[in-house]
Amino acid sequence: MASNRCVVYLEPGKVEVETIEYPRLELAVQHRKCDHGVIVRTIATNICGSDQHMVRGRTTAPKGQTLGHEITGEVIEAGRDVEFIKVGDIVSVPFNIACGRCQMCKSGNTGVCLNVNPARPGAAYGYVDMGGWVGGQANYVMVPYADWNLLKFPDKDQAMEKIRDLTMLSDIFPTGYHGAFTAGVRTGSTVYVAGAGPVGLACAASSQLLGAAVVIVGDMNPERLAQARSFGCETIDLRNKADLPDMLTQIVGEPVVDAAIDCVGFEARGHGQGASEAPATVLNDVMSITRVAGRVGIPGLYVTGDPGGIDENAKTGQLSVKMGLGWAKSLTFTTGQTPVMRYHRQLMMAILHDKIQIAKAVNATIISLDDAPKGYVDFDKGAAKKFVINPNGLIK
């Protein structure tokens, strides 16, 4: 049996690659066989900003937490109840684990499946409080409910040619798209994206795909802002203490936009050089600049347990949000895990037919499994890259 190595969280700021058990067709949390599952040999698995929150010590993740929820791979073993996915298929694995049978799954809300996490609705691979599922920054991973969860790529050769783009389908491309779509981005929209990390860049590219007239990205990282400009976005450097509405006016002629998206989450900082952490900053910003009766997308992560929170309220996810402002402006908010399956097939087709170059937009950068710890360090320093781990050397 092949060995299985995986990226594991040890303590704040430290991850290592360790040998873990080779996956079995078994539901470890429920202690029963998983005849509806498959074993996937990982082709590409990505470092996500959500992983980085854990590695910074900003969640309740325990020592030994396996990492990785962005997985693309080849099926090498299938359970007896798997009918439509075959050994040899190359597939995208949605980061949401979903049963396909519960009320939420049947209504398309696969991010809050009721049957895959004993603690709460919703589950994910390799993430704290998300059901205890083993992470996918590894050589091999088990995927349950395979016929329901997996997105099969129609042509293996074409999939490998476009693997840098297709690997984004497991999370950040649908997540960015979900943020833009639920914020109401349509043909001719003016859009503000808070955050130029990989999800923010994916959201900006998605806004362009949806037909936005202008996409403005705000951040305090010059390298990431340059990456946003590389595919046609306007940018705002938030190290400048000027008011955000004034900076928007210089670009679109008015202090508001049609749609705004928070791609930062709970580790947000205030404006200005050297600004301190202020976790409600982005939420209040996007409310202030969204047109009345507009929509706000919030794919940025917010947690209920943050040991590193700036105060006792922040440690439990209680933030000083200007809800009265949102109410007065009749704004609509969409939060929570992105239901990847709602979008991934359409986005796959956009990739395969050259309607978008998402890997270029997020600056996909291939690294080995052994280089994953360094990738985490570089990402934490603000590298304008989306690190794609190549654990089995299958990406050319």
Could you give the percent of the chain with pLDDT greater than 70? Answer: 99
65-80 confidence digits (pLDDT tens) = 999 999 999 999 999 9
210-254 confidence digits (pLDDT tens) = 999 999 999 999 999 999 999 999 999 999 877 999 999 999 999
Coil, strand or helix at 140 = strand
pLDDT above 90: residue 276 = no
Distance CA 191, CA 182 (A): 12
pLDDT above 90: residue 274 = no
Q: What is the pTM of this model?
A: 0.97
Query: What per-residue confidence (pLDDT) applies to 100?
Result: 97
CATH architecture, domain 172-334: 3-Layer(aba) Sandwich (3.40)
78-133 confidence digits (pLDDT tens) = 999 999 999 999 999 999 999 999 999 999 999 999 999 999 999 999 999 999 99
Q: Do domains 4-171+340-389 and 172-334 have the same CATH topology?
A: no
Q: Which residue has the tokens 């347990």?
A: 305
344-376 confidence digits (pLDDT tens) = 999 999 999 999 999 999 999 999 999 999 999
pLDDT above 90: residue 312 = yes
170-179 confidence digits (pLDDT tens) = 999 999 999 9
Could you give the percent of the chain with pLDDT greater than 90? Answer: 93
Q: Report CA torsion sign: 136, 139, 145, 148.
A: positive
Query: What per-residue confidence (pLDDT) applies to 384?
Result: 97
Tokens of 309: 């929170």
Measuring CA to CA, which residue among 216, 206, 151, 159 is closest to residue 184? 206
pLDDT above 90: residue 27 = no
Measuring CA to CA, which residue among 377, 371, 298, 359 is closest to residue 14? 377
pLDDT above 80: residue 31 = no
pLDDT band with cut points at 50, 70 and 90 for residue 30: low
Domain ranges of the chain: 4-171+340-389, 172-334
Query: What per-residue confidence (pLDDT) applies to 1?
Result: 67
The CATH T-level fold of domain 4-171+340-389 is Quinone Oxidoreductase; Chain A, domain 1 (3.90.180)
Mean pLDDT of the chain: 96
pLDDT above 70: residue 34 = yes
Tokens of 277: 């952490």
Q: What separation in angstroms does the CA of 276 have from each of 129, 164, 195, 271?
A: 28, 35, 16, 9
Cβ(307)–Cβ(57) under 8 Å? yes
Region 270-276: mean pLDDT is: 81
132-160 confidence digits (pLDDT tens) = 999 999 999 999 999 999 999 999 999 99
Region 276-283: mean pLDDT is: 91
Query: What per-residue confidence (pLDDT) applies to 29?
Result: 66
Region 21-43: mean pLDDT is: 91
Q: Which residue has the tokens 């052994």?
A: 370
pLDDT band with cut points at 50, 70 and 90 for residue 318: very high
